[in-house]
Chains A and B, each alone.
Chain A
Amino acid sequence: QQPVQSPQAVILREGEDAVINCSSSKALYSVHWYRQKHGEAPIFLMILLKGGEQKGHDKISASFNEKKQQSSLYLTASQLSYSGTYFCGTVTQGGSEKLVFGKGTKLTVNP
Chain B
Amino acid sequence: EAQVTQNPRYLITVTGKKLTVTCSQNMNHEYMSWYRQDPGLGLRQIYYSMNVEVTDKGDVPEGYKVSRKEKRNFPLILESPSPNQTSLYFCASAPRDRIGDTQYFGPGTRLTVL
> What are the residues of chain B within 8 A of A40 when measuring CB–CB?
107-108
Closest to B98 in A: A97
Query: Number of A residues whose C-beta is below 8 Å from B?
Result: 26
Is A29 located at the chain interface by the 8 A CB criterion? yes
A57 to chain B minimum Cβ distance, whole angstroms, is 11
Which of the four size classes fits the interface of chain B?
Answer: 20 to 34
Interface centre among A39, A42, A96, A99 (most CB of B within 10 A): A99
Q: How far is the CB of B68 from chain A (nearest CB, A)?
A: 13
**Chain A residues within an 8 Å CB radius of B56:** 96-98
Say which one of B13-21, B37-45, B78-86 lies at the interface with A: B37-45
Judge whether B90 and A99 touch: CB under 8 Å.
no
- With A42-B105, A49-B100 already in contact, the answer to whether A97 and B31 are too (CB < 8 A) is yes
- A6 on the B face (CB < 8 A): no
What residues of chain A lie closer than 8 Å to B103, measured between beta carbons? 32, 34, 44, 99
A91 CB contacts on chain B under 8 angstroms:
99-100
Q: Is A103 an interface residue (CB 8 A)?
A: yes
Which B residue's beta carbon lies closest to that of A102?
B42
Q: Which residues of B contact A98 (CB under 8 A)?
A: 45, 48, 56, 58-59, 99
Most buried by B among A34, A39, A97: A97
Q: With both chains docked as a complex, state the minimum distance between the C-beta of B90 and any C-beta of chain A, in angstroms.
A: 6
* Contact yes or no, A55 B102, CB < 8 A: yes
- B101: CB under 8 A from chain A? yes
Looking at the assembled complex, report how far the CB atom of A90 sits from the nearest CB atom of chain B, in whole angstroms: 10
Q: Closest Cβ of chain A: how far from B86's Cβ, in Å?
A: 16
Name A85's closest neighbour in chain B (CB-CB): B42
Whether B100 contacts A99 by the Cβ 8 Å rule is no
Partner of B44, one of A55, A96, A101: A101
**Residues B102 and A44 in contact, CB atoms below 8 Å apart:** yes
Kindly identify which residue among A39, A87, A96 contacts B43, using a CB–CB cutoff of 8 Å. A87
- Measured between beta carbons, the chain A residues less than 8 angstroms from B35 are 101
Q: A42-B43, A42-B90, A87-B42 are in contact. Are A99 and B99 (CB under 8 A)?
A: yes
Chain A residues at the B interface, C-beta cutoff of 8 Å? 2, 29-30, 32, 34, 39-44, 47, 49, 55, 87, 89, 91, 96-104
